[in-house]
Amino acid sequence: MASQAVICIRDLRVEYETPGQPPHAAVKGLNLVVNQGETFGFLGPNGAGKTTTMNVLLGFVKPTAGGATIFDVSVGNPSARQRIGYLPELTYYYKFLTAVELLRFYGRMFGLRGAEMERRIETVLNLVELQDAGRRQIKTYSKGMQQRVGLAQALINNPDLLVLDEPTSGLDPIGRMTIRAIIQRLKQEGKTVFFSSHELGEVETVCDRVCILHRGAVCAEGSIQDLTRGKENLEEVFLEVIGFKKAGESLS
C-alpha cells in the first residue's frame, strides 16, 4: 500500500522582518514529507528553523513563499488544525489549575462535553502516567510532570498527528525515558509523530526517519539506518552534515 503523506512541506521560505534591518531568512526552500504512522525527528542546531517550521504548520507564522499541507489541507485553513495535537517549545499553564481542570479547558475548545470529556481526560492522564496526580494543582508538579501535562493537553482531541517541539527538553533520564515510552505507545496506536529534539541518542531509538536542518535548509534526510550506515551514531552524522566535523576526523 502506498504511504500516505500527513505533512507535506513544499519550497517553504520564512523571512522575519525586523524594523531597520534586512529580512532574516529562517527557513530557505524547505521540502519535507512525513508519512502516515511515521515517528519523524526534526533535528538541527539552535536557530536552524525547527520551531519556525512547526509554527507554520500550526498557522502561527505565515510563509513568505511556498507552503505546507496537513492531511491534504493547506495550513492556511484553520480546519487543518482539527487533527493535530501540539506541544509548544515553551509551555505556560495556569499553575493554580489541576491537570483535570486544565484538560477540561482544552477539551471544551475541541467540543468535548460531559461523560465523553471525562472519559477522554482519564484516558490521556493514564497515557502520560499522571492518573494519581490529576487532581493536584500543577504548581505542585515537577518539571517532568509539567511536560507530561503538556503532552496530555496535546492529546485531548485524540489527534492523528502530534507536533512536539522538544518534548524532552530539560528532563532527567527517567523523564526522557517516560516521554520516549509515550511516543512509542502513540506510534503503536498508529499516530504520526513529528518532533524536534537535541537528544540524538533518543531520536535514534524512537524515530523511523529524521531530517537535519541547518541554517534553514535540509542537509540530511532519511531513515536512521541509512544515515548511520558506516558511522558511529547519529551524533557523528549530525556533526558532519552541519560542517562541525569532517568525515573520519576525531574531536578529541
User: Is 170 a binder of ligand ATP (CB under 6 A)?
Assistant: no
| Cell numbers standing for residue 167 | 518534548
Q: Does residue 168 bind ligand ATP (CB under 6 A)?
A: no
Q: For residues 169 and 195, give the distance between their C-alpha atoms in angstroms, rounded to a whole number.
A: 12
**Which does residue 76 touch among ligand ATP, Mg ion, none (CB within 5 to 8 A, set by kind)?**
none
Residues 8 and 209: their CA atoms lie apart, in Å, by 15
Distance from C-alpha of 181 to C-alpha of 156, rounded to nearest angstrom: 18
- C-alpha 131/C-alpha 167 separation (Å) is 20
- According to CB under 5 A, which residues from 31 to 50 bind Mg ion? 50
**Quick check: 208 and 18 in contact, CB under 8 A?**
no
Which H or E run contains 25?
Answer: strand 24-35
148 binds, among ligand ATP, Mg ion, none (CB under 5 to 8 A by kind): none
Residue 26 CB, nearest approach to ligand ATP (Å): 3
Contacts of 199 (CB under 8 A, 6+ apart): 168, 176
Q: Does 51 bind Mg ion (CB under 5 A)?
A: yes
Position among 3, 11, 23, 24 found at the interface with ligand ATP (CB under 6 A): 24
Q: Please choose which of Mg ion, ligand ATP, none residue 173 contacts, taking the beta carbon within 5 to 8 angstroms, the exact cut-off set by kind.
A: none
Nearest to 125 by CA among 141, 244, 177: 141
Residue nearest to Mg ion (CB): 51
Give first-to-last CA distance, the chain, whole Å.
47
78-97 positions binding Mg ion, by CB under 5 A:
89
Q: How far is the CB of 42 from ligand ATP (least distance, A)?
A: 8
Nearest approach, Cβ of residue 89 and Mg ion (Å): 5
Smallest gap from Cβ 166 to ligand ATP, in A, equals 7
Residue with cell 524547505: 30
Nearer to ligand ATP, 23 or 173 (CB): 23
Give the x-and-dash track for 28-67 against ligand ATP (CB under 6 A): ----------------x-xxxxxxx---------------
Binds 47: which of Mg ion, ligand ATP, none (CB < 5-8 Å by kind):
ligand ATP
Cα separation of 173 and 88, whole Å?
A: 21
Quick one: 52 or 153, whose CB is closer to ligand ATP?
52
Minimum separation from the CB atom of position 170 to ligand ATP (A): 12
Asked if 183 is part of the footprint of ligand ATP (rule: CB under 6 A), the reply reads: no
H or E stretch covering 179? helix 173-188
Distances (CA, A) of 114 to 120, 121, 159: 10, 11, 19
